[in-house]
């Protein structure tokens, strides 16, 4: 921290404010396929983003040269960037855009990721592959671990001094089965859904072994399953598909920079307007959605965002009514709306923008059995495998790996290639039952993509199982 | 400081330092990736964020061979541009690789580098000065609602192997990827990218987009779901490729049974009008693979509807006993080109007749990968056309259709003209390359919502 604070003394004379955000990240990526090592890769990313405010315009310069002269040069380049655009600013900012933060956050891990033995990790992944190879019809097995240690330090000329430390892990085990021209793949929880703050205890847990066994069994089961039926019917989504539903049709549309139009050229806009907050009935009164950075072990928990705002739990949607956008300090100032502490950057080489963090659907009162019993005709779907939504976040389509037909209140048969499509607000208005705590699952993904230049960032989603009515469901080609 | 990392001599120094330490049985490949970029992000034709990024990384791929048994490991380090710091990081990385790798399980398909020949390509350009770029870009934007990203600066990719090979590719590029909006939130899209800054070409590009935006002022037409005749403009055809490339062309995906185009390997064909190549003749992207192989200048993947080649990496070559063709590790096309057809640009609307004209597509994904089905949306300048005349902009439609229909049974014609869509992705680092695609006239396309 000392070298960062020393470097701030080199703030360009014209600057009203300067900040330095240092990120050091070590990522270890191990993959085994069909019982052999496929990939063993570790990489370190280490640099600083220098940011400067000149006449209301921020400019930044990201550098991996952490020497005193390197940081001083970066501050000068940042100032030049700000200077070159100050007559073209979309908004004139002042120090209110950079609150003062002082504090420290340490994410929890039982077996810290720095206690890393790559051979042991790879052996475990090979073992999981071997467990999944239970039949000649299993033609491909894969086990994956992405372990990341991240250190973030932030100082600024108005007194910020903060540091955060994270251990993050993403796991997967998947199996592909093939027979008589039918191919089915089953994963642990959809693509990279098993994402947590924590350590190697997740990789070596009995729970992952059980999950691998289930993956193999269900991949084979899907070969003999019938196609998912087509029609409008009730739909129960399990938490590892609720994750994508929340992500695409709540998280992204509520990002305030998107509502303000910043993302139009890439990820898109939103059907939500600034005037909708406090007025728009987004979904049924059973729907309660929070931005919650305080959940221990959830993938995107943290103490403060990259603009220095302390992170607190806030309701985004309460009893179905839209309350608050996902907007960090800059967007709040531009829009005149309250927001959350979500200005985050993927690394030192990108500027913070409004991101999801942990976006959670709060538990309700129904057991899974309650939900199933209430369905005359419907499908239960698990584990996302396909996702797509329009640029205003209305028309979506999702595909899942595994489905169960529900008839007259009972689970009857397995179905394969379950898909559904819908439009955001009518879909959430059809939320009929929300699962209780016994149905809750916590997932995440390291690959939420957005921004120009592009950034992939970690997000978390915790949700119960949910029942929706009158959803357009369909099967494979 | 950082400019020294654009000097090949700096890379050669790191190479020589690393290779000098190698012992018997050790094989090493060094891969350098770097950029010195300016990014200016725009909204409402004003600057939202502006900054520079200097980022250089060096990847070490280490293979230890002992009595015929191979073990492999990779480490990537951050380069600072200070020789003492970077030398220390390189030494530590080598020590870590030597400590970890002997304990790793055997990797029978680890690639031992061979010497495929050395080369050096340096492309220079006249780019805008970073301090004045924003003002110059903003000049012709008066009265326009523009959102987009200007990205400019030098990019380098280099590789050196313990077999004695050294490859260097550096280039200076810019792109301005943008969209224009009317008051009803309707938009058109353009990507302006040249080898050198050209103010007149920039003005022409904006004018073309502005004229197209006038069509978006007409009342919106909401079409019912169902099958419609469709014209996909070159940019829309280009947008099919990333999804198709995700598992579609890689030998490893086909062998493992998880390719989205597996039916092509099983005898199915696309339209005889459709031919797709991995084509490096534009010179926009290096031909060398991560293991130093030089890909053919042009490799046909699909020849008149038939899959004739897959992309084979050195690792897949070892695993499946087939020749490598210099593919990258993910076996995805790096410079795809689709052959043109005989449909004149001036005849497109008349040939379309009544249907939809799609300039761009959005958020594509495999909806059923084993059967080659892809879903996506319409976006930007998409129109309803009736009897050869544009009626008005299309309300957003979802489509869900198979590759075997869109580029197979339903492909009626391809245009004579092709357009180059430069790679503008910037996840982790600025992408290189471009795709070249014609427009495609489809007898029918399935719209589902």
In this complex, do A62 and B54 lie within 8 Å of one another by their Cβ atoms?
yes
Q: What angle do CA B395, B398, B403 make, to 5 degrees?
A: 135
Size of interface A-B (CB pairs under 8 A): 256
> Do the beta carbons of residue B269 and residue B408 sit within 8 Å?
yes
In this complex, do B108 and A139 lie within 8 Å of one another by their Cβ atoms?
no
Taking the CA of residue B328 and the nearest CA in chain A, the distance in Å comes to 14
Taking the CA of residue B343 and the nearest CA in chain A, the distance in Å comes to 30
Task: Please identify which residue in the block is written with the tokens 């544009």.
Answer: B390
Of residues B133, B172, B127, the one with CA closest to residue B6: B172
Report the alpha-carbon distance of residue B151 to residue B124 in Å, rounded: 16
Q: Report pLDDT digits (tens) over A227-280.
A: 999 999 999 999 999 999 999 999 999 999 999 999 999 999 999 999 999 999
Of residues A29, A6, A36, the one with CA closest to residue A18: A6
Residue A190 in tokens = 């959809």
> Do the beta carbons of residue B40 and residue B53 sit within 8 Å?
no
What pLDDT was estimated at residue A243? 97
Q: Is A359 on the interface with B (CB under 8 A)?
A: no
Range 149-178 of B in CB contact (< 8 A) with A: 149, 151, 177-178
What pLDDT was estimated at residue B353? 98
Q: Is A114 on the interface with B (CB under 8 A)?
A: no
Residue A338 in tokens = 């309250």
Contacts of A87 in chain B (CB under 8 A): 135
Q: Report pLDDT digits (tens) over B93-122.
A: 999 999 999 999 999 999 999 999 999 999
Residue B133 in tokens = 């770029």
In this complex, do B379 and A391 lie within 8 Å of one another by their Cβ atoms?
yes
In this complex, do B107 and A36 lie within 8 Å of one another by their Cβ atoms?
yes
> Do the beta carbons of residue A241 and residue A189 sit within 8 Å?
no
DSSP B399: E
Which of B102, B367, B369 should be substituted to probe chain A, the one whose Cβ sees the most A Cβ atoms within 10 Å?
B367
Q: Which of B56, B149, B262 sits opposite A453 (nearest CB)?
A: B149
User: Coil, strand, or helix at residue A359?
Assistant: strand
Q: Report pLDDT digits (tens) over A367-416.
A: 999 999 999 999 999 999 999 999 999 999 999 999 999 999 999 999 99
Contacts of B131 in chain A (CB under 8 A): 80, 83-84
In this complex, do B2 and A37 lie within 8 Å of one another by their Cβ atoms?
no
Range 270-299 of A in CB contact (< 8 A) with B: none
Distance separating the N- and C-terminal Cα atoms of chain B = 54
Q: Is A227 on the interface with B (CB under 8 A)?
A: no
Distance separating the N- and C-terminal Cα atoms of chain A = 57
In this complex, do B39 and A453 lie within 8 Å of one another by their Cβ atoms?
yes
Taking the CA of residue A64 and the nearest CA in chain B, the distance in Å comes to 5
Which residues are CB-neighbours of B440 under 8 A, at least 6 positions away? B231, B232, B236, B237, B406, B407, B411, B413, B414, B415
* Helix orientation angle between B8-19 and B83-100, rounded to the nearest 10 degrees: 40
Q: What is the dihedral of CA A227, A232, A236, A239, to 10 degrees?
A: 80
User: Coil, strand, or helix at residue B283?
Assistant: coil
Strands A138-156 and A102-106, how do they pair? Answer: unpaired
In this complex, do B50 and A84 lie within 8 Å of one another by their Cβ atoms?
yes
Q: Give bridge partners of residue B147 from the DSSP assignment.
A: B179
Report, as an integer, the average pLDDT of B383-400. 97
User: Coil, strand, or helix at residue B160?
Assistant: strand
Report, as an integer, the average pLDDT of B235-255. 97
Report the alpha-carbon distance of residue A455 to residue A343 in Å, rounded: 13
> Do the beta carbons of residue A283 and residue A272 sit within 8 Å?
no
Report the alpha-carbon distance of residue A285 to residue B309 in Å, rounded: 55
Centroid of chain to Cα A360: 11
User: Coil, strand, or helix at residue A431?
Assistant: strand
Taking the CA of residue B197 and the nearest CA in chain A, the distance in Å comes to 18
Q: Is B202 on the interface with A (CB under 8 A)?
A: no
Contacts of B54 in chain A (CB under 8 A): 61-65
Range 153-182 of A in CB contact (< 8 A) with B: 176, 178, 182
Confidence of residue B1 (pLDDT cuts 50, 70, 90): very low
Task: Please identify which residue in the block is written with the tokens 């198709």.
Answer: B244
Of residues A125, A8, A21, the one with CA closest to residue A68: A8
Residue A194 in tokens = 């098993």
Taking the CA of residue B291 and the nearest CA in chain A, the distance in Å comes to 14
Contacts of B59 in chain A (CB under 8 A): 43
Please provide the size of chain A in residues. 477
Element (H, E) at A51: strand A36-54
pLDDT at B315 over 80: yes
Q: Is A122 on the interface with B (CB under 8 A)?
A: yes
Reduced 3-state DSSP string for A223-255: HCCEECCCEEEEEEECHHHHHHHHHHHHHHHHE
Taking the CA of residue B359 and the nearest CA in chain A, the distance in Å comes to 14
DSSP A209: H
Report the alpha-carbon distance of residue B270 to residue B322 in Å, rounded: 24
Report the alpha-carbon distance of residue A432 to residue A371 in Å, rounded: 9
Taking the CA of residue A97 and the nearest CA in chain B, the distance in Å comes to 14
Contacts of A353 in chain B (CB under 8 A): 49
Range 392-431 of B in CB contact (< 8 A) with A: 396, 398, 400, 402, 425-428, 430
Q: How many separate helices (H) and strands (E) can be counted in chain B?
A: 10, 18
Report the alpha-carbon distance of residue A163 to residue A24 in Å, rounded: 11
Contacts of B368 in chain A (CB under 8 A): 386, 399, 417, 419, 476-477
User: Would you give per-residue pLDDT tens digits along chain A (477 residues)?
Assistant: 889 999 999 999 999 999 999 999 999 999 999 999 999 999 999 999 999 999 999 999 999 999 999 999 999 999 999 999 999 999 999 999 999 999 999 998 777 887 778 999 999 999 999 999 999 999 999 999 999 999 999 999 999 999 999 999 999 999 999 999 999 999 999 888 999 999 999 999 999 999 999 999 999 999 999 999 999 999 999 999 999 999 999 999 999 999 999 999 999 999 999 999 999 999 999 999 999 999 999 999 999 999 999 999 999 999 999 999 999 999 999 999 999 999 999 999 999 999 999 999 999 999 999 999 999 999 999 999 999 999 999 999 999 999 999 999 999 999 999 999 999 999 999 999 999 999 999 999 999 999 999 999 999 999 999 999 999 999 986
Report the alpha-carbon distance of residue A135 to residue A189 in Å, rounded: 21
Residue A22 in tokens = 């240092």
Which alpha helices (DSSP H) does B101-151 contain, by range? Answer: 133-138
Task: Please identify which residue in the block is written with the tokens 């051979």.
Answer: A119
ipTM exceeds 0.90, yes or no: yes
Q: Is B115 on the interface with A (CB under 8 A)?
A: no
Which of B4, B33, B35, B52 should be substituted to probe chain A, the one whose Cβ sees the most A Cβ atoms within 10 Å?
B52
DSSP A249: I
Which chain B residue is nearest to residue A472, measuring alpha carbons?
Answer: B449
What pLDDT was estimated at residue B3? 54
Report the alpha-carbon distance of residue B241 to residue B274 in Å, rounded: 13
Residue A123 in tokens = 């052996």
Q: Is A80 on the interface with B (CB under 8 A)?
A: yes
Q: Report pLDDT digits (tens) over B45-88.
A: 999 999 999 999 999 999 999 999 999 999 999 999 999 999 99
Contacts of A84 in chain B (CB under 8 A): 50, 130-135
- pTM greater than 0.90: yes
Residue B208 in tokens = 């073309």
Q: Report pLDDT digits (tens) over B360-383.
A: 999 999 999 999 999 999 999 999
């Amino acid at each position: 921290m000392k070298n960062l604070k020393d470097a701030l003394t080199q703030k360009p004379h014209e600057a009203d404010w300067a900040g330095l955000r240092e990120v050091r990240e070590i990522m270890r990526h191990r993959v085994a396929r069909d019982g052999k090592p496929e990939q063993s890769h570790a990489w370190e990313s280490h640099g600083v983003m220098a940011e400067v405010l000149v006449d209301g315009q921020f400019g930044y310069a990201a550098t991996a040269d952490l020497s005193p002269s390197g940081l001083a040069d970066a501050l000068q380049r940042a100032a030049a960037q700000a200077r070159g655009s100050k007559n073209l600013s979309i908004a004139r900012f002042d120090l209110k855009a950079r609150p003062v933060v002082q504090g420290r956050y340490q994410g929890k891990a039982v077996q810290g990721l720095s206690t890393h033995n790559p051979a042991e990790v790879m052996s475990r992944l090979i073992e999981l592959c071997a467990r999944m190879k239970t039949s000649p019809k299993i033609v491909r097995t894969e086990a994956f671990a992405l372990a990341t240690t991240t250190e973030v330090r932030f100082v600024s000329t108005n007194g910020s001094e903060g540091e955060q430390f994270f251990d993050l892990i993403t796991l997967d085990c998947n199996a592909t089965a093939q027979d008589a021209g039918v191919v089915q793949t089953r994963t642990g929880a959809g693509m990279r859904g098993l994402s947590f703050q924590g350590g190697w205890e997740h990789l070596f847990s009995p729970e992952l072994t059980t999950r691998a066994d289930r993956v193999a069994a269900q991949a084979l089961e899907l070969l003999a399953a019938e196609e998912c039926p087509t029609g409008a019917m009730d739909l129960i989504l399990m938490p590892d598909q609720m994750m994508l539903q929340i992500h695409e049709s709540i998280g992204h549309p509520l990002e305030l920079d998107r509502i303000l139009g910043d993302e139009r050229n890439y990820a898109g806009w939103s059907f939500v307007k600034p005037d909708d907050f406090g007025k728009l009935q987004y979904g049924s009164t059973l729907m309660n959605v929070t931005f919650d950075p305080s959940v221990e072990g959830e993938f995107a928990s943290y103490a403060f965002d990259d603009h220095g705002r302390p992170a607190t739990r806030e309701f985004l949607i309460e009893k179905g009514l839209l309350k608050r956008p996902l907007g960090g300090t800059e967007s709040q100032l531009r829009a005149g709306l309250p927001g959350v502490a979500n200005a985050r950057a993927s690394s030192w080489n990108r500027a913070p923008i409004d991101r999801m963090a942990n976006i959670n659907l709060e538990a309700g009162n129904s057991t899974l059995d309650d939900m199933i019993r209430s369905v005359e005709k419907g499908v239960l779907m698990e584990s996302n495998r396909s996702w797509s939504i329009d640029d205003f976040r209305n028309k979506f389509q999702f595909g899942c790996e595994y489905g169960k037909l529900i008839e007259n209140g009972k689970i009857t048969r397995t179905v394969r290639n379950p898909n559904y499509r819908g439009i955001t607000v009518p879909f959430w208005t059809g939320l009929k039952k929300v699962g209780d705590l016994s149905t809750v699952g916590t997932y995440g993904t390291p690959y939420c993509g957005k921004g120009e230049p592009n950034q992939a960032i970690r997000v978390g989603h915790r949700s119960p199982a949910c029942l929706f009515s009158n959803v357009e469901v369909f099967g494979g080609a | 400081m950082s400019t020294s990392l654009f000097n090949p001599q700096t890379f050669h120094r790191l190479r020589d330092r690393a290779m000098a330490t190698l012992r018997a049985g050790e094989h090493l490949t060094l891969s350098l990736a770097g950029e010195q970029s300016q990014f200016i992000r725009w909204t409402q034709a004003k600057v939202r964020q502006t900054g520079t990024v200097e980022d250089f990384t060096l990847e070490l791929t280490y293979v230890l061979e002992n009595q015929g048994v191979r073990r492999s490991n990779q480490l990537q380090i951050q380069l600072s541009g200070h020789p003492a710091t970077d030398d220390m990081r390189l030494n530590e990385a080598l020590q870590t690789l030597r400590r970890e790798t002997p304990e790793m399980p055997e990797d029978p398909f680890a690639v031992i580098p061979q010497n495929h020949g050395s080369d050096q390509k340096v492309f220079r350009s006249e780019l805008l000065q970073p301090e004045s770029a924003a003002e110059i870009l903003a000049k012709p934007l008066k009265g326009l609602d523009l959102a987009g990203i200007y990205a400019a600066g030098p990019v380098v990719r280099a590789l050196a192997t313990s077999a004695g090979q050294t490859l260097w590719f550096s280039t200076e590029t810019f792109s301005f990827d943008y969209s224009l909006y009317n008051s009803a939130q309707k938009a058109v899209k353009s990507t302006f990218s040249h080898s050198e800054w050209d103010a007149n070409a920039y003005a022409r590009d904006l004018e073309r987009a502005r004229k197209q935006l006038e069509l978006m002022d007409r009342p919106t037409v909401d079409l019912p779901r169902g099958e419609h005749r469709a014209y996909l403009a070159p940019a829309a055809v280009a947008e099919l490729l990333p999804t198709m490339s995700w598992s579609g062309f890689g030998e490893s995906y086909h062998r493992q049974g998880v390719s989205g185009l597996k039916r092509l390997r099983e005898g199915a064909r696309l339209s005889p009008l459709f031919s797709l190549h991995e084509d490096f003749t534009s010179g926009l992207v290096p031909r060398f693979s991560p293991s130093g192989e030089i890909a053919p200048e042009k490799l046909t993947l699909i020849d008149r509807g038939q899959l004739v080649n897959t992309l084979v990496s050195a690792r897949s070559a070892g695993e499946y006993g087939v020749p490598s063709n210099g593919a990258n590790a993910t076996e995805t096309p790096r410079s795809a080109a689709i052959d043109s057809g005989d449909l004149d640009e001036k005849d497109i609307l008349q040939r379309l007749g009544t249907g939809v004209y799609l300039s761009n597509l959005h958020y594509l994904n495999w909806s059923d990968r084993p059967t080659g089905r892809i879903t996506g949306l319409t976006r930007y300048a998409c129109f309803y056309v009736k009897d050869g005349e544009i009626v008005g902009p299309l309300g957003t439609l979802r489509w869900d259709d198979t590759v075997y229909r869109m580029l197979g049974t339903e492909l009626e014609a391809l245009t004579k003209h092709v357009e180059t869509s430069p790679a503008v992705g910037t996840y982790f680092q600025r992408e290189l390359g471009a795709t070249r695609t014609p427009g495609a006239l489809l007898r029918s396309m399935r719209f589902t919502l």
